[in-house]
Structure 1
Amino acid sequence: MSLQLLLGQSTATGPRERNEDFAGMVTPVGMQLQTKGALIALADGVSGNAGGREAAEMTVRSILSDYYATPDTWEVHSALDKVITAANRWLLAQAAQHKDFAGMASTLSLIVFRGQRFYSAHVGDTRIYRLRHGELQKLTTDHVWERPDMRHVLKRAIGLDQHLSVDYADGALQVGDVYALMSDGVWDVLDQATLHHVMGLYDNPQLICDELTRLAIAQGGHDNATVLAAHVVQLGEETLTDLLAEHRHLRVPPKMKAGDVIDQFEVLSVLHESRASLIYKVRHRITNQLWVLKTLQPLLAEDRDSCQALLNEEWLAKRVVSQYLPQVLPLTAEQRSQLYYVMSWHEGATLQHRLDNGHHFTTAGITGIGIALLRGLGALHRLQILHRDIKPANLHMAMDQRLRILDLGVALSPVTGHIASMDNPGTPSFMAPELFDGAGASVSSDLYAAGVTLYYLLTRKYPYGEIEPFQHPRFGEPVPPTRYRPEIPRWLENILLKAVARQPEHRFETAEEMLLALEIGETRPILPPPRTPLIARARLVKWQWIALVSLMVNFMLLYLLIVS
């Protein structure tokens, strides 16, 4: 689902000799639309000064091009501030170098539409209006002197001052919204009722623009008249940056107990408490439906990385629509007053809890668990999400015997970028060997953790032995699971040993490949993985072994020479 807009643009010179307004728009497609958004901008060169048209045109052109050259990881307002500041410096430099352009300046109003939000920037007396559900709202403030005889004299403009102050704002988009950017040659001539009527009269933004500029000139306007309009047809996918922007004001709630109320939810019990997070079983006070609420420990209220990581987890979980993961309840910023998110409740227990209570997993049961686990991992990997902490404690078996993958707290996606506090996460005994050497997480390391999980559920042992935190282990050959459970069929043992192979290239390449191996089972068993050579197990390269053997031979020859 991508953002869809209908756009319109109209300008009229009117009785003036020259049109000093300039408008532009960029509507990218594909990934650039998702990461940077669509941008519409309007500038009005300051009347009475040389270079007014040039100031307006160069301001808009430079912003339209430079904004899309900024890094995708920058927040929208940060990127806009950089390019607007650069445009302001350029105009000041041109005015200083060319006497004909002395005093050149321009107003500016623009909107970036991205995902499910808009971001605006404004300086001067051009205006931005929004029509929503029949109500017209002016979204900008005119930067002019308040005295009646000076109400057209700008206090702020691009190129007017070395220290530029820009008004930035953002908000949620809604389907059906109509946004209009217009110069003072339109809004100063037409009253609010006329603007309201015309913006609500047409569904086509181009007709809105044409009618407003026509009326402005027809009713005696003495200035250039320019209008840009955008009609929101369909919202795009919510981006993590949008989510962070919408919820940056939320605070971590205090620790709660049964009976406490937070927004629409009543706390029933504490399900889990860790060093970083708190998980509660809650009930919706209106629908009585049960949910799970996750938030942070109050001690982390001022930890920006931890707060961002929780929102990162919520955003990733909302992207995954699968029966193998809990589903997130969509809540707007208006529906929650504190930092948390809510996901579906399923009666049951984690596989670690079952192990701790003496549950015995059969080979047939483990095969079923493995199939469900890999289907869930496949759903994550197809969205380019790496879980990074697969283990029995993060796998939940509901009363209906359906497996679900829990906890995307340390999950990564290329879209979300890297969070410093997430370096090398996970439980050591389930971490792939390459992670201990500083390699990044991958599909292969997720599948390794899945293999160790199935191995552990069957044997209550680890293929390479238990690894303690901060230990840097040496990996030899994995212990065959049949040493602990002789009844395990050979085809299942081969699958587990391939999944936990020390070398990534000897493992399954995708979740789908490992899933297929489990599904066909003994009908088409896979071959056991190749044994790791002694040289590789010892982590010595060949020339080191050759040098060692050569040294031993030389000592032997020297000994024989002395003896003889």
Structure 2
Amino acid sequence: MAVATTRLKAAIGYSSHIGRRTENQDFAAACLADARSHHGLVAAVADGVGSRKGGRVAAELAVRSFIDDYLSQSEALSPQKTAGRALESINHWIHLQGIKDENLKGMACVFTGIVIKGRRLHSFHIGDTRLYRLREGAMGLLTRDHKPDGAETSNFITRAIGFDEAVRIDYRVHDVMPHDRLLLCSDGVHGKLNDTQIGNILAQRLSPDETAKKLIDLAMELGGDDNTTALVIDIFELPPATVKDLDAFIARLPMRDPPEVGEEVDGFKLEAMLSDGIYSRVFRARDLNEPRTVILKFPKPHNLQADTSARQAFVRETWVASRVQHIWIGSVLLLPPKRQTCLYVAQPYYEGETLEKRLSRKPAVSLTEGLDIAIKLAKALGSLHRAGVIHRDVKPDNIILLRDGGLKLLD
């Protein structure tokens, strides 16, 4: 048995160039917390504005303090609260120093920071630094430049850390998936490279360090004269989804009337109905996007209470499958968020028969065969118990006897 790891696994790469300036006022850093911690990954990039010395001081202070303050707070607190407080404190200090210290007069910086905790990406954005995400070949910009309407190409910004006594932060929560690639960059990158050029380099899947350097080099080749900084993060593995994560995802999915054989749902062709119970309808389906056969289970809502119960049941089933991985336990297929448009559970299709059917046909189950089934089932239940999960519906109809002699405990 393998209980899914709580460890976030990622690779981080960085590159920066002074351009034709006398000082590099950009600053970026990242930290992947210790395996014993649940803080996850924190990263940030900042670009100084204002006086030459003050800009660099503001950028470095903002990034270092953001990371240090977040990691020093309790893991039980939300990233929004811990990181938000840190940025408010940083803004207050930088604003005061820009007033009191003549050498740092007008010091400020634009800033983009992220926290990846669990299976969520929390972004904190002020100014015109940027956060991009590459997923399955498609790139998206996850931040919005704070510039006057109609002046998107100008150097004028409307928000920065240190501008005012209070800071307005764009806080967003995004889903994150294995194989996502993230880019945090200063305007030295996106000011010279368009989104297509940036996306093409990210999609080459060079190492994070090589990718960051390639972005910087191309910006310089195209005449870049500003400080230019890129921080690239590759996500390899995520902790298992929590009940809260799954509940938030499933809550967004509408419940539809159960489909019929022959229909297509999210790229699945429904080929045969396997069961039509009071609470759900189950189909064998063919995946039109890749060569595999799957099982799709659709809820049958009757009223608001049934709707709520169905969602809770689907959350529990998906959470258990993501948390416990065992050779004798059926798994759940976690589909990309953009693919699934309604509420259902997808599972691999297991060739075989239920224990219920086996018990009803001849020849009768022999002692040897019965012991083999019992031992495998006991091991499956033992793995669930060690993970803190109690299966409340163990019955012959929820046990699949595979053609190769294996077994799968479902539901």
TM over 0.5: yes
- 1:361-392 Cα distance to aligned partner (Å, 9 max, x none): 9988875554233111233245x142252654
Contact 2:58 2:94 survives alignment (8 Å)? no
Amino acid at match of 1:310: F
Secondary structure in structure 2 of the residue aligned to 1:125: coil
Q: Please tell me whether residue 280 in structure 1 is matched to residue 282 in structure 2.
A: yes
Corresponding residue for residue 93 of structure 2? 94
1:339-354 pair list within 5 angstroms: 339-343=343-347, 344=349, 348=353
Q: Please tell me whether residue 23 in structure 1 is matched to residue 28 in structure 2.
A: yes
Corresponding residue for residue 336 of structure 1? 340
Contact 1:213 1:227 survives alignment (8 Å)? yes
Contact 2:58 2:107 survives alignment (8 Å)? yes
Contact 2:124 2:169 survives alignment (8 Å)? no
Distance in 2 between residues matched to 1:246 and 1:261, nearest whole Å = 22
Q: Deviation of residue 166 (structure 1)?
A: 0.6
- 1:87-109 Cα distance to aligned partner (Å, 9 max, x none): 33213432565532675543222
Q: Please tell me whether residue 59 in structure 1 is matched to residue 62 in structure 2.
A: yes
- 1:499-558 Cα distance to aligned partner (Å, 9 max, x none): xxxxxxxxxxxxxxxxxxxxxxxxxxxxxxxxxxxxxxxxxxxxxxxxxxxxxxxxxxxx
Instruction: Say if 1:230 and 1:391 are closer, same or farther in 2 by CA, change over 3 A.
Output: closer
Q: Deviation of residue 314 (structure 1)?
A: 1.3
Secondary structure in structure 1 of the residue aligned to 2:303: helix
Corresponding residue for residue 182 of structure 1? 185
Q: Deviation of residue 327 (structure 1)?
A: 3.5
Q: Please tell me whether residue 140 in structure 1 is matched to residue 139 in structure 2.
A: no
Corresponding residue for residue 325 of structure 1? 329
Secondary structure in structure 2 of the residue aligned to 1:179: strand
Distance in 2 between residues matched to 1:8 and 1:290, nearest whole Å = 38
Secondary structure in structure 2 of the residue aligned to 1:83: helix
Contact 1:253 1:298 survives alignment (8 Å)? no
Q: Please tell me whether residue 229 in structure 1 is matched to residue 225 in structure 2.
A: no
User: Higher relative CO (CA 8 A, sep ≥ 6), structure 1 or 2?
Assistant: 2
Decide which of 186, 205, 209 is 1:206's aligned counterpart.
Answer: 209
Identity of aligned residues (%): 26
Instruction: Say if 1:289 and 1:29 are closer, same or farther in 2 by CA, change over 3 A.
Output: same
Instruction: Say if 1:295 and 1:368 are closer, same or farther in 2 by CA, change over 3 A.
Output: same
| Higher percent of residues as strand | 2
Distance in 1 between residues matched to 2:259 and 2:193, nearest whole Å = 55
Q: Please tell me whether residue 313 in structure 1 is matched to residue 314 in structure 2.
A: no
Secondary structure in structure 1 of the residue aligned to 2:49: coil
- 1:10-36 Cα distance to aligned partner (Å, 9 max, x none): 33445555543221110235354xx54
1:484-563 pair list within 5 angstroms: none
Amino acid at match of 2:64: R
Corresponding residue for residue 490 of structure 1? none
Contact 1:118 1:170 survives alignment (8 Å)? yes
Equivalent residues, number: 392
Contact 1:6 1:205 survives alignment (8 Å)? yes
TM-score for both structures, normalised by structure 2: 0.72
Contact 2:350 2:400 survives alignment (8 Å)? no
Contact 1:114 1:236 survives alignment (8 Å)? no
Instruction: Say if 1:364 and 1:219 are closer, same or farther in 2 by CA, change over 3 A.
Output: closer
Distance in 2 between residues matched to 1:361 and 1:192, nearest whole Å = 64
Q: Deviation of residue 341 (structure 1)?
A: 0.4
Q: Which runs of 5+ in 2 are unaligned?
A: none
Decide which of 274, 290, 295 is 1:291's aligned counterpart.
Answer: 295
- 1:302-350 Cα distance to aligned partner (Å, 9 max, x none): 9768635523321322454445333334433333321110334666556
| Higher percent of residues as helix | 1
- 1:418-441 Cα distance to aligned partner (Å, 9 max, x none): xxxxxxxxxxxxxxxxxxxxxxxx
Instruction: Say if 1:104 and 1:310 are closer, same or farther in 2 by CA, change over 3 A.
Output: farther
Contact 1:294 1:342 survives alignment (8 Å)? no
RMSD: 4.6
Q: Deviation of residue 54 (structure 1)?
A: 3.6
Distance in 2 between residues matched to 1:92 and 1:288, nearest whole Å = 53
Corresponding residue for residue 47 of structure 2? 44
Amino acid at match of 2:79: L
Corresponding residue for residue 380 of structure 1? 384
Contact 2:258 2:281 survives alignment (8 Å)? no
Distance in 2 between residues matched to 1:120 and 1:253, nearest whole Å = 33
Contact 1:205 1:231 survives alignment (8 Å)? yes
Corresponding residue for residue 412 of structure 1? none
Distance in 1 between residues matched to 2:199 and 2:356, nearest whole Å = 60
Amino acid at match of 1:88: L
Amino acid at match of 2:33: P
- 1:50-109 Cα distance to aligned partner (Å, 9 max, x none): 8433432333223323434566567xxxx3322342133213432565532675543222
